[in-house]
Chains A and B, each alone.
Chain A
Amino acid sequence: MAGFKLPDLDTLRSRVKDIKLELPGKKEPAKEDVPVPAGGIKCPSCENVFEKKELGKLKICPKCARYFRLNSKERIRLTADEGSFKEMDAALRAKNPLDFPDYEEKIARMQEKTGLKDAVITGTCTIGGEKTVIGVMDSGFMMASMGSVVGEKLTRAFEYATKNRLPIIIFACSGGARMQEGIVSLMQMAKVSAAAAKHSQAGLLYITVLTDPTTGGVTASFAMLGDIIISEPKALIGFAGRRVIEGTIKQKLPDEFQTAEFQLEHGFVDLIVTREEMPIKLRDILRLHSGRKDGAE
């Protein structure tokens, strides 16, 4: 297992250059009048406009330290030892169980736009030399809603991990169920959870990393079932949508409602880990469970 290359803390820190990681980020005055030039991007938190490349690989706002969403490929690059990721079940594609109008066309458009087949990538990799199964959801693909493909790939990932006695890490994010697949989508919650149960019964480690946003049927199934539940700072994590709750109670909810920090306070998240420290923290937790204190030999 020699020769792995974990992006180390110093390298990661240098990637963020001199950004102060002040969380929660302070809002600067709105700059609504500033047009966003080509190659530019406007931070939805502080509303400053800057060049995309200024976000860096960690995709953090250089002004207010807001986390921008990472796509699944970026996430894997930041997490797995260089060159260690091997994708599984890459060919799975959605069908249309309800014959829902235009669903196939929508899937085709999303595939073209994202270069992905569906909303999750699964595979194996090493992190700091520790071998693990990994699943990464991608909010760029239909807000990472869970349909048959997401459910099947994650179930197979759990089954592979159980069979090969490996830990599994899932980076969760999701708007919830894939409505276009109806009841079939709902059943994915039970399917993945049952596979997680078997993995757990085998005494194996399951880590979930909750990223912005983790909601609905994903929160109400595998995302909340990790032995260890990590969250990125300020990620939205909840079951019901904010507007649904506001509609029920006829009141505005406070800003911090359903944030990672709120979930930590209420006991539903074990720890909040910054993006730069994530691979090291994952490596440390994997080692605490493999018993290889000084890493894999």
Chain B
Amino acid sequence: MAGAYDNVKIARKVSRPTALDYINHIFEGFVELHGDRQFRDDKAVVGGVAWLVDRPVTVIGIQKGKSMEENIERNFGSPHPEGYRKALRLMKQAEKFGRPIINLINTSGAYCGVGAEERGQGEAIARNLLEMAELKVPTISVVIGEGGSGGALALAVTDRVWMLENSVYAILSPEGFASILWKDANRAKEAADVMKLTANDLLEMGMIEKVIKEVKGGAQNDFGFTANLLKSKLVTELDMLCDKPIDQLLSERYARFRKFGEFSE
């Protein structure tokens, strides 16, 4: 059996389809909106308004580059606080206009740097967690590549959390995990097996609701297959979520996260 680290490698492939690939394929008439209205436009986060078939939605993605040049512009898909604040601005806008929200997540983590600290990376993530718990519209997040810790969770406090089959979602990279717990980053493979970071592991643990299939070797080998599948699942799920009374939606969202934790008393 292949190890979990194989998924990590596929999830990190430069050829792996990005948020904008899915946005352009799944949605029509995407109007990209920029900026957090406070500091600047963070290009590691893209977002805007688009049609999902006949339904206007807000779609937000964490965007990695396809080339070194674009990766520098996109900061390798590691958002600064202003990226999370831009996402929150667009989500609050969606709430105002009653649009469902779809977040596509692909980040190794929130950026760790001087500017990020000066502008409150912790506060930006925290604010999103709190605000997303209360958004009065249906919300779905999909991990399409890497789901790196708090930097991913900051877009994933949603009614549904899905993962593409070869994506990963974890508290830390397997390298970081091995380095902290075993003082040896070379034990990343072993760490990946322990961490339960694959889509199927997380489905089994009840952390996510759905796994979207990919063809053998990863979504890049047949992008249309995964993108079309994701589109049809999103359409069906939003039809269902949009029919729920808001109070029910919010109490179910609270219960979704409330149940996480293992302890005895």
Contact = CB atoms under 8 A, between A and B. Distances in A.
Interface of A: 89, 91-98, 100-101, 148-149, 151-152, 155, 177, 179-191, 193-198, 200-201, 216-217, 219-225, 238-241, 244-245, 248-249, 253, 257-258, 266-268
B117 A220 contact: no
B265 interface: yes
Contacts of B254: 194, 198
B14 interface: no
Contacts, number: 177
Interface stretch (B15-23, B99-107, B193-201): B193-201
B82 to A, nearest CB: 14
B261 A268 contact: no
Contact of B133 (A92, A182, A197, A244): A197
B172 A190 contact: no
A184 B127 contact: no
B121 A239 contact: yes
A219 B119 contact: no
B226 to A, nearest CB: 23
B263 A239 contact: no
B112 A193 contact: no
Q: List the 5 closest pairs (A to B, CB-CB), nearest first.
A: A219-B122, A240-B112, A148-B261, A193-B129, A194-B133
Given A93-B263, A183-B195, A187-B153, 20 more contacts: A92-B264, A92-B265, A155-B258, A182-B196, A182-B197, A184-B262, A186-B150, A187-B261, A190-B257, A191-B257, A193-B157, A194-B258, A221-B129, A221-B150, A224-B120, A224-B122, A225-B127, A245-B114, A248-B113, A249-B113
- Tell me the dominant secondary structure on chain A's binding face: helix
B84 to A, nearest CB: 10
Nearest to A93: B264
Contacts of A268: 120, 122-123
A193 B133 contact: yes
A268 to B, nearest CB: 5
Given A239-B112, A245-B114, A183 B262 contact: no
Contacts of A96: 262
B172 A177 contact: yes
A145 to B, nearest CB: 10
A200 B130 contact: yes
A187 B257 contact: yes
Given A183-B169, A245-B112, A191 B258 contact: yes
Contacts of A223: 122, 126
B150 A217 contact: yes
A182 B170 contact: yes
Give the residue among A89, A91, A152 with the most B Cβ atoms within 10 A. Answer: A152
A41 B153 CA distance: 42
Contacts of A238: 117, 122
Contacts of B113: 240, 245, 248-249
B116 interface: yes
